[in-house]
Amino acid sequence: MIPLPHPAPSDYNRDAVHIDFLYWEGCPSHEEALGRLRVVLEEEGIDAELATIHVSTDAAARTLRFPGSPTIRVQGRDIQPETAQTSVSGLTCRLYILDDGHPSPLPSAELIRRAVRAAAERSEKEVEA
């Protein structure tokens, strides 16, 4: 089992959106992607608990079902599940398909924004219920 640097359940901020940012340092896109994620969270005013997870071995990649670097999971849900599902787990760069259909090694700010907004809205509904 690969230990994840997540906080213990008792340490979670229940109101915060939990985000896992998984990366492999062999792919150069993670710093820019993490920067985009942070900018989006700030612009949206979303209270998030962000865990950055370095995936460094093939075994860890398989265990984490890591479809390539960078991968962002918001409340456990991949921000682009359709491209995650078509990728084989491993230490490689992640392919994203942008809104205009172009391939990219980086998720767009809009893709990240949609995912965190949807998660924040789900959290609000759960609190209200």
Interface residues with other proteins (CB under 8 A) are 26-28, 68, 90, 92-96, 102-106
d(C-alpha 48, C-alpha 76), whole Å: 13
At closest approach, how far in Å is the CB of 119 from other proteins? 24
Q: Which is nearer to other proteins, 32 or 121 (CB)?
A: 32
At closest approach, how far in Å is the CB of 30 from other proteins? 13
Q: Which is nearer to other proteins, 52 or 87 (CB)?
A: 87
At closest approach, how far in Å is the CB of 116 from other proteins? 20
Buried-exposed string 38-58: b where 16+ CB fall within 10 A, e elsewhere: eebbeeeebebeeeebebeee
d(C-alpha 35, C-alpha 23), whole Å: 13
